[in-house]
Structure 1
Amino acid sequence: MTTPVQPALDGSIPEQRKTQTQQRTEDYETWLEIVWPRFIAAAATGRTFTCYEIADLHNLPAPPNPQAHWGRLMTLLKDEGYVRTAGWACTNRPTAHHSGVRTWKGTAAARRAAA
């Protein structure tokens, strides 16, 4: 589904600005190398966060399959002991209409990994 573009007052169609978050990495392993350190650093802070907050804060690229790979990333981080589930919150992702999303909190292992 594409987002409709609002024409300018003179009738011209402006070029769509493409942010890094809108860009997609072509292979999963490359994407994982880019985003992994950012999520480890977020976990090391000990604060509660959502996946989108970290991606938006650091302008991280989207994975090849966004519907599956963001969740897989968080599962890997949890399995490695870097994060634990902290609860639920309403997302601030503009396209999600304040849907409920899982929140995460870093562990002591994440603080050690960042040190």
Structure 2
Amino acid sequence: MTAPIQPALDGSIPEPAPRAVDYETWLDTVWPAFVAAAATGRVFTTYEVVDAHRLPQPPNPQAHWGRLMTLLKDQGYIRTAGWACSTRPTTHHSGVRTWRGTAAARREAA
């Protein structure tokens, strides 16, 4: 079931977020934005990076965003930093994990 489209205040219907055709292509598209976010050393949420870079949705959003963050953590780019209230409009400020780039990610960017 898909969520209903909310019209803008002017009555126009916004374009849906682009969606990648396959997982590998999507991963190649979004990976650099998250590596760059890790290199800053600041605390961030997944949505903040997605929103700032207007990244496409994966083929399976319920599973692939979490898998991406696990891959970044396993590769040593990020570590968990804590929890925050989400800024994503559809989550009603629910709790989300925050991430911070590792020292290795910051050194790689230098």
Q: State if a TM-score over 0.5 links the two structures.
A: yes
Give the number of equivalent residue pairs.
109
Structure 2, unmatched stretches of 5+, are none
Larger of the two Rg values belongs to structure = 1
Secondary structure (helix, strand or coil) at the match of 2:107 reads helix
Q: CA deviation at 1:113?
A: 2.9
Moved >3 Å (runs of 4+): 4-9
- Per-residue CA shift, 1:34-75, capped at 9, x if unaligned? 110000000000000000000000000000000000000000
Q: CA deviation at 1:2?
A: 2.9
Task: State the match for 1:2 in structure 2.
Answer: 3
Structure 1, unmatched stretches of 5+, are none
Q: CA deviation at 1:18?
A: 1.4
Look up the equivalent residue of 2:57 and give its one-letter code.
A
Secondary structure (helix, strand or coil) at the match of 1:113 reads helix
**Aligned equivalents of 2:23 and 2:104: distance in 1?**
24
Find the partner of 1:18 among 5, 15, 20. Answer: 15
- Contact persistence 2:8–2:14 (CA under 8 A): no
TM-score (norm 1): 0.86
Percent sequence identity is: 66
Q: CA deviation at 1:90?
A: 0.4
> RMSD across aligned C-alpha pairs, in angstroms?
2.0
